[in-house]
Amino acid sequence: MTSGGTCSGPDDYSDLRWRLDAQGRLVSLLNGQCVAVAANGSLTTTAAGCSSAPGTNQTWSYDAGGSGALRLVGSNLCLTAPAPPPPPVAYAQLCGRIQAYNGMQAVNPPGGYCLALNAAGAWTLTAGAGAAAVRLAAGNVSAAGGGFDSRWPSRLGLSMHGSKVAATINGSAVATTVDNTAAFGLAALGSGYHAAVFDDFAATAA
């Protein structure tokens, strides 16, 4: 935690336990609770978790200076960004209903549904395998409210109920579509040929 007019300095925080959600709340990946700055300047989690009431939680934003730091809105308190992973960072992806597997490359996705997010904030939702894969939806979370910085963790969500396929990134819905490519299959995590960290993976029945 640093303070000052701008967010600068070394990336001295490397514990990837927090993420910024779509409402600008700093959320703990360990328990889903909102993180707040206590009176003594330390970081703590709220006992009641994240409230949906406007103005209840402290709001954070990415520093306009491009440092990757998070600034507590209305103050000069900043949380420096974790060191970026080794380049090149291509993408990380979450897949479901996999019925065929020829690799996890973005150009040759496994047979099923895959939500991929790259370091620039671009995402794609695909169905099918290999060259026959179809892009169901695509977008960029960098343009969404709250911003995006690949140095901070992101939470990918993929749900399939019958023919309805829905994708979320950091708790915000990015795509909902109807598709009948795959009715069942396995779940998987994937990335490019680079370091990637996955935490708190869960698969639940519909």
Q: What does the pLDDT look like over 149-166, one tens digit per residue?
A: 777 778 899 999 999 999
- Other CB atoms within a 10 A radius of the CB of residue 142 amount to 14
Average pLDDT per 10 consecutive residues for the chain, totaling 206 residues: 49 52 74 72 64 65 73 76 62 88 61 89 88 89 63 86 93 92 90 78 83
Closest C-alpha among 106, 107, 140, 136 to residue 123: 140
Question: Virtual CA dihedral for 123, 17, 85, 89, nearest 10 degrees?
Answer: -10
Burial 147-161 (b: 16+ CB within 10 A, else e): bbbbbbbbbbbbebe
pLDDT recorded at residue 86 = 56
pLDDT recorded at residue 106 = 52
Can you give the residue ranges of every domain in the chain? 1-83, 91-191
- The reported pTM is 0.66
pLDDT recorded at residue 175 = 95
Secondary structure (3-state) at 131: helix
Q: Give 3-state DSSP helix, strand, coil % of the chain, rounded to 5.
A: 5, 40, 60
Contacts of 54 (CB under 8 A, 6+ apart): none
Q: What does the pLDDT look like over 107-162, one tens digit per residue?
A: 566 788 999 998 888 999 999 887 778 999 999 987 544 457 777 778 899 999 99
Which CATH number describes the domain made up of 91-191?
2.60.120.560
Closest C-alpha among 63, 74, 51 to residue 151: 63
Please compute Rg for the chain using Cα positions: 18
pLDDT recorded at residue 165 = 96
